[in-house]
Amino acid sequence: MLARANRIVRGDDYRSVVRRGRKSATAHVVVSVVRRAVTDGAPGAGPTRFGFIVAKTVGNAVTRNLVRRRLKAIAHELLAQTPTGYDVVIRALPAAAQAGWPTLLGDVSRSFARGVEKAA
């Protein structure tokens, strides 16, 4: 489970990342990454935060929650190898409902790496 410090919880933050972030898409997910602005003299200070968007087009409530839990687990794994100061929003596409764990892990990892590379 992601700690509160590692989650995007405000709607304004979600909108900001989706609008201004560097996007990288695969068949299953779209990952938006933005480097946070300078705060307290340190560029991008603070932990990396993740947010998740799993729309009704992905499936029923059970399916959406399964996909969301998988994405949260992947984000938790990525957190250990992530530089600090980024905001990341992962939007699941309808194909994510049929994707297995290894497929989602690979797609999110690649998209996240490309997004960080573009945002840096």
Specify whether the CB–CB gap between 23 and 32 falls below 8 A.
yes
Strands 22-25 and 49-54: unpaired
What's the CATH architecture for 4-119? 2-Layer Sandwich (3.30)
| Digit-coded pLDDT (tens) for 30-51 | 999 999 875 555 555 688 999 9
Q: What is the mean pLDDT of residues 81-105?
A: 93
Q: How far apart, in Å, are the Cα atoms of 43 and each of 2, 9, 24, 36, 86?
A: 23, 21, 23, 7, 10
In the chain, what are the domain boundaries? 4-119
| Digit-coded pLDDT (tens) for 3-16 | 888 999 999 999 99
Would you give the DSSP letter of residue 58? G
Tokens coding 33: 């990454």
Query: Would the pTM count as exceeding 0.95?
Result: no
